[in-house]
């Protein structure tokens, strides 16, 4: 119980921290592939910071972890209901997400694309050349490290554009890159 209470205290963002995270998410999604920095201090997994800053009691959240109680922490801090990925507005994975799991994430529809999920994935690194990103917001092209097996699943999830999902790839130290549904990814997975 003490561990959960300590995590709740650490995960509660001050207003200035929430604004900084919001701005970083906005920058990352408006400039796909550009690496920005979150205010991660190590007390809470960096991959959870966007959810902590953006979720509220009206947004369902799915936290995919290995039994680390982070879903309970997110629920207490944000008042957001815990829901399965298929209905979540925000999905945060502190562990590797499988292609099958990504295929189940809420995509919205052509008439309501805003209902597609924002998926926050914990990744080991961003510096790499596995993926080449092109599309709106990318000056020519941008390159990132691939994520095991997710390129094809992500392509399937955005195939009904404007419906689809948006991705935030986040390292442990808080480096983050956004890949909105309008971005094309070419290359190979790791």
Tens-place pLDDT, residues 129-171: 899 999 999 998 899 987 878 999 999 999 999 999 999 999 9
52 contacts 77 by C-beta, under 8 angstroms: yes
What is the number of domains present in the chain?
A: 1
pLDDT tens for 73-118 read: 999 999 999 999 999 999 999 999 999 999 999 999 999 999 999 9
pTM, entire model: 0.94
Instruction: Using the predicted structure, report yes or no on whether residue 5 has a pLDDT greater than 90.
Output: no
List strands edge to edge, sheet with 166-170: 36-37, 175-179, 166-170, 118-122, 90-93, 61-64
CA distance 43 to 51: 15
Q: Which domain holds residue 82?
A: 2-187
Q: Can you give the CATH number for the domain in which 87 is found?
A: 3.40.50.11310
Looking at the chain, the whole-number percentage of residues with pLDDT higher than 70 is: 99
Least confident range of 7-11, 47-51, 81-85, 90-94: 7-11
User: If you count them, how many residues does the chain have?
Assistant: 190
- What integer best gives the mean pLDDT of the chain? 94
Distances (CA, A) of 48 to 79, 98, 134, 176: 15, 18, 27, 12
CA distance 117 to 163: 10
pLDDT recorded at residue 1:
64
C-alpha of 77 from chain center: 18
CA distance 102 to 84: 12
Does 159 or 68 have the greater pLDDT score?
159
Residue among 187, 137, 157 at smallest CA distance from 177: 137
CA distance 33 to 29: 8
Instruction: Using the predicted structure, report yes or no on whether residue 13 has a pLDDT greater than 70.
Output: yes
- Average pLDDT on 38-63 reads 96
């Amino acid at each position: 119980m003490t561990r959960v209470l300590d995590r709740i205290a650490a995960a509660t963002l001050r207003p200035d921290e929430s604004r900084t995270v919001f701005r970083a998410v906005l920058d990352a999604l408006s400039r796909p592939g550009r690496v920005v920095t979150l205010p991660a201090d190590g007390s809470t997994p960096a991959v959870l910071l966007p959810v902590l800053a953006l979720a509220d009691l009206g947004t369902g959240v799915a936290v995919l972890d290995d039994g680390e109680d982070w879903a309970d922490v997110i629920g207490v801090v944000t008042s957001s209901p815990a829901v399965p990925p298929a209905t979540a507005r925000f999905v945060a994975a502190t562990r590797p997400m499988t292609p099958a799991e990504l295929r189940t994430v809420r995509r919205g529809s052509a008439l309501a694309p805003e209902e597609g999920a924002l998926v926050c994935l914990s990744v080991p690194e961003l510096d790499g050349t596995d993926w080449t990103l092109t599309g709106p917001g990318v000056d020519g092209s941008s390159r990132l490290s691939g994520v095991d097996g997710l390129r094809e699943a992500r392509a399937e999830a955005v195939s009904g554009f404007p419906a689809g999902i948006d991705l935030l790839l986040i390292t442990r130290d808080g480096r983050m890159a956004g890949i909105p549904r309008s971005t094309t990814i070419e290359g190979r997975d790791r």
